[in-house]
Amino acid sequence: MRIGFDFADLEAFLVLYETGSFVAAARHLGQSQSSITRRVRKLEEELGTRLFERTTRSVRPTQAARQLRGRAQAMMDEARGTLRALRDVGPGTGARAMVTLAHLPGTGPGVVDPVLGLYGAAQDAARVRLLELPAEAVAEAVREGTAEIGITGMGADLSGLTGETLGEDRIGLVMLADHPMAGEGPLSWEALEGQRLILTAPGGADGTGTGREGTGSTGIDRPGTDSSGIDRAGIDAVVAERVPGLLWRHEVPGASRALELVRAGLGVALLPRAAVPLRDGSGLAWRALEAPVVARRLALVTRPGGALSEAAQALCAMIREGATGRGGL
């Protein structure tokens, strides 16, 4: 059977899937927007199905695209692996190259995963080893050289490291997509009245703190954060002030467990945006809470003076670009 598409078409599809934008995909691949459009249309014609629903405001993957994504990525990985093996690349490059990224829990869906999708779609991408650690442990892993790159909280001890702000990751309300409060725009804290509230348990002063309206969102570092850098003490203070008498229904170790309870219909959770998978089919909705804004502040950390590998430099650049593209999270 003749195959009427090539690896460049699959690459364009994968990058468009991850970015959700023809403009962003074109910029990432260094091609024109019309070139990306032609490649995706060619793939759709060859497969006989629409891969993206296009509107003037968004590009949304269809069910066919979601089914194709895993297979397309596997085909690209296999082809690259074959190419590297035939080139007999030396140590520290190609298939043997590896970057270790340490990151906070609850940063996967909104920060790490989108970057990995783009990075994996790039030519000659290195392998990426992930370490999910509390804020202070992320900093220590980079400091000791266990990880080349870290994503942690600005409130962690960053002595001996180079840290740059990625942005503020706002706390919001996570609920099922068919919940009465699911919709667009921010909510007031008073909207929590009468809800079965799910909170992450505080786990010591290893996180980031709170950014509040009226303070320039500079943040207040305080004890009582959990391992994800979520400021539980700050959340408790706002809830007590804005919704007196409201008590949490479930307290859980971290964001992933909170999401499981939300999916089980056991309540709504207060979590930062980056902790919540919001792709089509996730079954979840997230709305920011404001007046006041509570947020964890995320930082990208590396060792000063330590020359990053080319692979690590490329990954850092994509992390920065991702944060900028989201408007600073």
Q: 259: closest CA among 202, 171, 170, 175?
A: 175
If one counts every other C-beta atom within 10 angstroms of the C-beta of residue 157, the result is: 13
| Residue at which a domain ends, from 58, 84, 110 | 84
The model's pLDDT over 96-111, given as tens digits with 9 standing for 90+, comes to: 578 899 999 999 999 9
Domain boundary among the residues 64, 84, 104 is at: 84
Looking at residue 250, which CATH number applies to its domain? Answer: 3.40.190.10
User: Percentage of the chain surpassing pLDDT 90?
Assistant: 50
Mean pLDDT of the chain, nearest integer: 83
- Tell me the per-residue pLDDT of 277-299, one tens digit each, with 9 for 90 and over: 987 778 999 999 999 999 999 99
Tally of domains in the chain: 2
Confidence of residue 213 (pLDDT cuts 50, 70, 90): very low
Residue 30 belongs to what domain range? Answer: 1-84
For 215-227, the pLDDT digits (tens) are 333 232 344 555 6
Tokens (6 digits) for 214: 């009226």
CATH code where residue 52 lies: 1.10.10.10
Residues 172 and 274 in one domain: yes
Q: Is the pLDDT of residue 119 over 50?
A: yes
Give a yes or no: residue 62 inside a domain. yes
Encode pLDDT of 170-187 as tens digits: 999 999 999 999 988 999
Q: Does any domain span residue 190?
A: yes
Residue 150 lies in a domain: no
**Helix, strand or coil, per DSSP, at residue 62:** coil
In angstroms, the CA 266 to CA 277 distance is 18
In sequence order, the 6+-apart residues with CB closer than 8 A to the CB of 243 are 189, 190, 192, 193
In a domain, 78, yes or no: yes
Q: Which of 65, 84, 103 is the last residue of a domain?
A: 84
